[in-house]
């Protein structure tokens, strides 16, 4: 072996050793978790709970940055364009990774090509509820009434998961119910509580207090299984087999992020979600913990886009 060959081999070994050390040390500094909605919503709450526990696991602080606007697209676009080093990650939802890419005429990012999946964290149920003055007590009674007289439902806005939950319901039930969009769940709930609009599709966490007080009558949750926090509320699928919608939260990094960073983040996320204290917090708003790996999340995104594409198309929902 020549001196030059020895130097090359020694240099290669040193480089590999340094690379391994760098990989083992991820993260070496603060991580930014972009929440693509305003502070205070369910996605922000999930993000802050997870960030706090993952920070403990990783030994570096994860700082939540709220980047609201365009139904979550602004924050998602920011992460898609960030350095692919694992230090900027996204708290994604069904809006950022299924609905917006289908609805927006201008595509600011590709939900598959521009992101590296980390973990599907939780599923959060939506709920179909009515003002108690509407003479229905079950999903089937609502379907029957909708076939007899004009009805309308409220949602938090055009193109939102709640709007599309209503459109999927109409399609599967074979009924026509007018959609009344609002600028958020708050004003939508106000009008349904005041009986200006008789029906609402809402996130279960934001409607739960009104359901418990009797100001709203819940007819069905939108998940495949009943919500643990409201076990007496049937699923819509018990009347319309196969019906299933929900809000979900998942972690993504920019495409091209090193595999060792993805693995470290995924392990930390799964460990965080396995913490009984975190599970207790999630149960407070009926979130079902999934804590998947990257491959399962990638498959979930493909399945969600396939499910929602015909609903968006048939409802003719588009946004600039």
Q: Is residue 194 part of a domain?
A: yes
pLDDT digits (tens, 9 = 90+) for 119-145: 999 998 999 999 999 999 999 999 999
Higher local confidence (pLDDT), 68 or 239: 239
pLDDT digits (tens, 9 = 90+) for 44-55: 889 999 999 999
Instruction: Give the whole-angstrom CA distance, residue 125 versus residue 123.
Output: 7
pLDDT value at residue 3: 45
Examine the pLDDT at 315 and tell me if it is beyond 90.
no
Q: What is the CATH number of the domain that holds 175?
A: 3.40.190.10
Q: Using an 8 Å Cβ cutoff, are 219 and 142 in contact?
A: yes
The mean predicted confidence, pLDDT, of the chain is 90
Q: Is residue 254 part of a domain?
A: yes
Q: Is residue 88 part of a domain?
A: yes
Q: Is residue 22 part of a domain?
A: no
CB neighbour burial string for 105-134, b if at least 16 within 10 angstroms, e if fewer: eeebbebeebbbbbbbbbbbbbbbbbbeeb
* Same domain for 139 and 112: no
Distances (CA, A) of 135 to 6, 198, 202, 237: 86, 10, 20, 21
pLDDT value at residue 32: 98
- Before 131, cis peptide (omega within 30)? no
Q: Is residue 136 part of a domain?
A: yes
The stretch 261-270 carries a mean pLDDT of 98
Residue finishing a domain among 207, 238, 269 = 238
Q: Is residue 116 part of a domain?
A: yes
CB neighbour burial string for 140-161, b if at least 16 within 10 angstroms, e if fewer: eebbebbeeeebebbbbbbbbb
Q: Using an 8 Å Cβ cutoff, are 126 and 117 in contact?
A: no
Place of tokens 């709640």: 162
* Same domain for 230 and 253: no
* Same domain for 141 and 114: no
- Residues near 21 by Cβ (< 8 Å), separated by ≥ 6? none
Q: Is residue 9 part of a domain?
A: no
* Same domain for 44 and 118: yes
pLDDT digits (tens, 9 = 90+) for 165-202: 999 999 999 999 999 998 778 889 999 999 999 999 99
* Same domain for 172 and 252: no
Q: How many CA atoms lie within 13 A of 134 on its CB side?
A: 32
The domain containing residue 176 runs over which residues? 125-238
Examine the pLDDT at 9 and tell me if it is beyond 80.
no
DSSP string, 5-40: HHHHHHHHHHHHHHHHHHHHT---S-EEEEESS-TT
Residue finishing a domain among 187, 205, 238 = 238
Q: What is the CATH number of the domain that holds 293?
A: 3.40.190.150
Examine the pLDDT at 12 and tell me if it is beyond 50.
no
As a whole-number percent, the residues of the chain with pLDDT over 70 amount to 92
* Same domain for 210 and 199: yes
Q: Using an 8 Å Cβ cutoff, are 198 and 131 in contact?
A: yes
* Same domain for 253 and 198: no
pLDDT value at residue 17: 47
Q: How confident is the model at residue 16 (pLDDT cuts 50, 70, 90)?
A: very low
Q: Is 199 left (phi over 0), alpha (psi -120 to 50) or beta?
A: beta
pLDDT digits (tens, 9 = 90+) for 200-227: 999 898 898 899 999 999 999 999 999 9
Q: How confident is the model at residue 4 (pLDDT cuts 50, 70, 90)?
A: very low
pLDDT value at residue 185: 81
Q: How confident is the model at residue 290 (pLDDT cuts 50, 70, 90)?
A: very high
Examine the pLDDT at 88 and tell me if it is beyond 70.
yes
pLDDT value at residue 206: 82
* Same domain for 232 and 197: yes
Split into its structural domains, the chain has a count of: 2
pLDDT value at residue 277: 97
pLDDT value at residue 24: 55
pLDDT value at residue 182: 85
DSSP string, 207-221: HHHHHHHTSSEEEEE
* Same domain for 254 and 112: yes
The stretch 55-83 carries a mean pLDDT of 94
pLDDT value at residue 316: 85
Examine the pLDDT at 18 and tell me if it is beyond 50.
no
pLDDT value at residue 37: 85
Q: Is residue 6 part of a domain?
A: no
Place of tokens 């299933």: 244
* Same domain for 164 and 94: no
Instruction: Give the whole-angstrom CA distance, residue 70 versus residue 158.
Output: 11
CA angle 19–21–27, rounded 5-degree value: 100
* Same domain for 100 and 179: no
Instruction: Give the whole-angstrom CA distance, residue 149 versus residue 136.
Output: 13
Taking alpha carbons only, the member of 257, 296, 287, 278 closest to residue 119 is: 296
* Same domain for 253 and 207: no
Predicted TM-score of the model (pTM): 0.80
Task: Name the strand (E) or helix (H) holding 247.
Answer: strand 246-254
């Amino acid at each position: 072996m020549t001196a030059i060959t020895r130097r090359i081999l020694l240099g290669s070994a040193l480089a590999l050793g340094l690379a391994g050390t760098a990989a083992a040390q991820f993260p070496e500094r603060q991580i930014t978790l972009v929440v693509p909605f305003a502070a205070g919503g369910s996605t922000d709450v999930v993000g802050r709970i997870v960030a706090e526990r993952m920070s403990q696991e990783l030994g570096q602080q994860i700082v939540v940055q709220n980047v609201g606007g365009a139904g979550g697209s602004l924050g998602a676009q920011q992460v898609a364009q960030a350095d692919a080093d694992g230090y900027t990650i996204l708290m994604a939802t069904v809006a950022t990774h299924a609905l917006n890419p289908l609805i927006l005429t201008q595509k600011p990012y590709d939900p598959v090509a521009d992101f590296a999946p980390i973990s599907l964290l939780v599923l959060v149920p939506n709920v179909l509820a009515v003002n108690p003055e509407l003479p229905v007590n079950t999903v089937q009674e609502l379907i029957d009434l909708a076939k007899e007289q004009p009805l309308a439902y409220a949602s938090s806005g055009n193109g939102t998961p709640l709007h599309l939950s209503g459109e999927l319901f109409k399609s599967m039930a074979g009924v026509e119910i007018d959609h009344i969009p609002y600028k958020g769940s708050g004003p939508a709930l106000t009008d349904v509580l005041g009986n200006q609009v008789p029906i609402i599709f809402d996130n279960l966490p934001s409607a739960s207090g009104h359901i418990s007080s009797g100001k709203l009558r819940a007819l069905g949750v939108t998940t495949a299984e009943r919500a643990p926090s409201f076990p007496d509320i049937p699923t819509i699928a018990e009347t319309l087999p196969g019906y299933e919608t929900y809000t979900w939260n998942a972690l993504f990094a920019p495409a091209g992020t090193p595999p060792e960073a993805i693995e470290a983040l995924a392990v930390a996320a799964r460990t965080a979600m396995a913490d009984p204290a975190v599970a207790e917090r999630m149960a407070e708003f009926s979130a079902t913990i999934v804590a998947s790996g990257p491959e399962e999340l990638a498959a979930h995104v493909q399945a969600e886009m396939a499910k929602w594409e015909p609903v968006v198309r048939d409802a003719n929902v588009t946004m600039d």
